[in-house]
Amino acid sequence: MEGTYPRESGDNQVTIKNIERELVCPACKELYVHPLILPCQHNICHKCVKELLYLTEDSTDVSSESSTPGSPRVRVQSPSVERLDRLVRSGSQRSSPGLRGSKRNSLTPKVTSFACPGCLHDVDLGERGINGLFRNFTLETIVERYRQAARAATAIMCDYCKPPAQESTKSCMDCNASFCNECFKINHPWGTVKAQHEYVGPTTQFRPKVLMCPEHEMEKVNMYCEICRRPVCHLCKLSGTHANHRVTTMSTAYKTLKEKLTKGISYLISKESQVKNQISELELLIKQTEGNGDRAKEEATYSFEKLYNILEERKSFVLKSIENSKGSRLEKLKYQMEEYQGLLENNGLVGYAQEVLKETDHSCFVQIAKQLQTRIQKASESLKTFRPAAQSGFEEYIIDVEKEEDMLNDIAFSKSLAMPEINTDECTMYNKARICWNEPGNSNPADSYVLEFRKLDKNEELLWKEVETSSTSKVISDLDLNSSYCFRVKGYRGSTSSPYSKEVILKTPPAPVPKEILWRAWLGCLYCLEQSVSKWDVTPVWIISLGTLESQREGISGPFLLIPILIW
């Protein structure tokens, strides 16, 4: 059963399958229960934090325990949809009556640092430990929505009906109870304070209405620290760790972060066609990788069959190498495709962010909006610099069977093209660019090259442009002045290609120098010098520097460098 929850527009629905990666704890691989926000901005279940702290504490005595297969560090397998569906149905049966957990978890671990299972970076909780972490009520609410959608067949009964109880139609967040329509009217009479209570759809999960400060447990958070980027209370500002920090009101922070998050979501949605095109490209690359990998295996098998008697051991080694390379590339490409699928409107990050936008509590929204904005900004930047995670070609696995018989034991793959290197000392930039590169020594020469370049502009999404050449230099025309460009080059020999060179960034000058001004200046210099040398009875001969001639030959305009040669 696939749970859905309608969005505000009413046109589409975000399914639990689409944003499941955002709702699953990276440690236990189950739906979040009482999620806490770590300093690295990743979320984790309350009980999982304690388990990780105990594992870290135990590993100080037995260092090998941290590298066991059961360690959260190495558990990276994502749950299947069927497993997630089962977790959703049984979510209400998990032990969540409070935040204390089992008898052992009621004790405070001695250590306060561990490796975040989301990013593997070390996280230090400080002196307060778990008590210093904010509980992510917004994420908890979103998880509960999908739990309700998945167990819609199981009705929540009214807590106030006389037996037999009716099915509830709403739950009051102030009363912490569920009501049918009649009981809700009776217990929330019109014109009374109870009539103003907040109610939601039927639920068994009730959360506090306000977010409390983790450092001052009796104080509500009512400000936002712009330095630490987290909600704080007035005591934190008066005498706490945020005394000298710049703070703003919660409503201002809510408005600012919501505007940024909305713009980020709108940007990703507007680029949905681009994401789909890139996913199609990845799908094609996966097919090409599979086909090329299979062909590489066939060629390797054919090569080894000719020398089978003495190459049996080498044959199995090479096939294993090809298979490992194929599997590694497919894994990278498929993982990259999953990440880009998460950028579609109803999937992953965007779907999750759209659910966060439904949060109306300013404090809860602010505590999660910043990390979401950062992730959306990174996703937006990745669209501008899209690059497949792996190459689809297996040319480097072609077997060289022309070796002498006495070298069969050292048989190896044919040499691939070495990576070219752009020579910045020989490159020139004006209204045109002349890019030069070198081939590494003792490497097979390439038959042709492809020079790629693009303008670096944050406001534009410029893809790489390609130009082919058979030499080790190329002139690029029609460049914008006062702009930065990124260049890279790749060599080809037949169907074999080299890796891309390291990217080089070059900048065009701010503005062209008018030729009339240059000519006036140089003519003046010529006249003065001729007057000076005439009394010496020598003849000045003016030549243009070889470098300038080369630039003019390539069509690059610029100032001339005149060199006088005095002839007696």
Q: What is the CATH number of the domain that holds 72?
A: 3.30.40.10
Look up tokens 């066609």; give the residue: 273
Q: Of 95-109, 243-257, 402-416, give the range with the top mean pLDDT.
A: 243-257
Q: What is the CATH number of the domain that holds 480?
A: 2.60.40.10
Position 191 in a domain: no
Is 57 or 370 the better-scoring residue by pLDDT?
Answer: 370
Position 218 in a domain: no
Residue 348: left (phi > 0), alpha (psi -120 to 50), or beta? left
Contact 472, 436 (CB under 8 A): yes
Position 45 in a domain: yes
**35 beta partners:** 45
Pick from 26, 51, 258, 219: nearest CA to 138 = 258
Is 310 or 403 the better-scoring residue by pLDDT?
Answer: 310
Contact 48, 28 (CB under 8 A): yes
Same domain membership, residue 148 and residue 18: yes
Residue 483 in this model has a pLDDT that exceeds 80: yes
pLDDT at 77: 39
Q: Of 15-29, 85-99, 103-117, give the range with the top mean pLDDT.
A: 15-29
Domain end: 457, 482, 507, which one? 507
**490 beta partners:** 450
Domain end: 155, 176, 200, which one? 155
Residue 82: left (phi > 0), alpha (psi -120 to 50), or beta? alpha
Which percentage of the chain shows pLDDT scores above 90? Answer: 8
Same domain membership, residue 474 and residue 326: no
Position 62 in a domain: yes
Residue 436 in this model has a pLDDT that exceeds 90: yes
Pick from 154, 55, 54: nearest CA to 109 = 54
User: Is residue 45 helix, strand or coil?
Assistant: strand
Instruction: Quickly state the pLDDT bin for 17 (edges 50, 70, 90).
Output: low
Same domain membership, residue 425 and residue 404: no
Calculate mean pLDDT across residues 244-252: 87
Contact 455, 480 (CB under 8 A): yes
Position 43 in a domain: yes
Contact 169, 181 (CB under 8 A): yes
Looking at 76-90, 197-211, 363-377, 447-461, which range is the least confident one? 76-90
Residue 192 in this model has a pLDDT that exceeds 50: yes
Position 310 in a domain: yes
| Residue 344 DSSP symbol | S
Domain end: 410, 440, 463, which one? 410
Asked if residue 164 has a cis previous peptide bond (ω within 30° of 0), the answer is: yes
For residue 186, what are the CA distances in angstroms to 159, 220, 316, 543? 13, 32, 79, 102
Same domain membership, residue 372 and residue 289: yes
Residues 58, 52: Cα–Cα separation, whole Å: 10
Position 383 in a domain: yes
Look up tokens 């950062």; give the residue: 374
Same domain membership, residue 85 and residue 23: yes
Amino acid at position 269, single letter: I
Looking at 80-211, which runs of residues are DSSP E strands? 113-115, 122-124, 134-135, 170-172, 177-179, 199-200
Same domain membership, residue 398 and residue 429: no
Q: What residues contact residue 104 under an 8 Å CB cut-off, 6+ apart? A: 54
For residue 17, what are the CA distances in angstroms to 20, 82, 356? 5, 10, 17
pLDDT at 478: 87
Contact 492, 450 (CB under 8 A): yes
Pick from 144, 135, 24: nearest CA to 92 = 144
Which residue range forms the structural domain that includes residue 35? Answer: 1-155
Residue 135 in this model has a pLDDT that exceeds 70: yes
Residue 4 in this model has a pLDDT that exceeds 80: no
**Alpha-carbon torsion (184, 187, 188, 190), positive or negative:** positive
Same domain membership, residue 41 and residue 98: yes
Our count of domains for the chain comes to 4
Amino acid at position 287, single letter: K
Same domain membership, residue 497 and residue 360: no
Mean model confidence pLDDT for the chain: 74
pLDDT at 222: 84
Contact 399, 299 (CB under 8 A): yes
pLDDT at 6: 41
Same domain membership, residue 521 and residue 503: no
Same domain membership, residue 398 and residue 351: yes
Contact 503, 488 (CB under 8 A): yes
Looking at 66-75, 227-236, 289-298, 552-561, which range is the least confident one? 66-75
Position 532 in a domain: yes
Residues 422, 437: Cα–Cα separation, whole Å: 4
Residues 518, 515: Cα–Cα separation, whole Å: 5
Residues 166, 118: Cα–Cα separation, whole Å: 43
Same domain membership, residue 119 and residue 144: yes
**Euclidean distance between the first and final Cα of the chain, in Å?**
98
pLDDT at 544: 43
Residue 355 in this model has a pLDDT that exceeds 60: yes
* Pairing status of strand 448-455 against strand 230-232: unpaired
Residues 481, 295: Cα–Cα separation, whole Å: 47
DSSP assignment string, 58-87: HHTT-GGGGGSTTSTTT--PPPPHHHHHHH
Same domain membership, residue 9 and residue 33: yes
Q: Which helix (H) or strand (E) element contains residue 544?
A: strand 539-544
